[in-house]
Amino acid sequence: MVFMFIWTTRLRKKKALLVAVLIVAVAILLVILSGFLHKSAENGVGRLDTEESRADYLKDLGWEVSPDPVATLQLQLPDPLTEDYTAYNKLQKEQGFDLEDLKGRQVTRYTYTVLNYPGHPDGVQANLYLCEGIPAAGDIIVTGADGFQAGLTFPE
């Protein structure tokens, strides 16, 4: 025995308009959320899912790095950002990144040995932070007595 249900309804203009507005609103919300969740850096860089793509990204910035990272670390950014992260974020904002957008999210830090820092043949590392494969932050660390931290821009 087969049962079949038929449901009919009258769709008035007001209801049809309300349904259409809701569908459009949901579509706009999905587009906005998709753009926010998969937002790349202001320089338009896409996903860096491979060692080669990350090394190429750093090479495009002028850095010659070892092909494999010397360290990889996963960490979750605090929400709210602590004082240390707030200070670090000042450097990141100068480069077009903003850790405020990633509070509470997990990032992966890849650390590479830099082979071509002017005047420093040794003891230089590049840190590249990715969130879901998209560059989220980065810095250059020069170790030693005259050490310092700088942005990813190759020095002139």
- Which portions of the chain are predicted below pLDDT 70? 31-45
- Do the Cβ atoms of 155 and 118 come closer than 8 Å? yes
Cα gap 115→154, rounded to integer Å? 12
In which residue are the tokens 């850096």 written? 41
SS3 33: helix
Query: Which sequence spans correspond to the domains of the chain?
Result: 11-40, 51-150
SS (H, E, C) 96-142: CCCHHHHCCCEEEEEEEEECCCCCCCCCEEEEEEEECCEEEEEEEEE
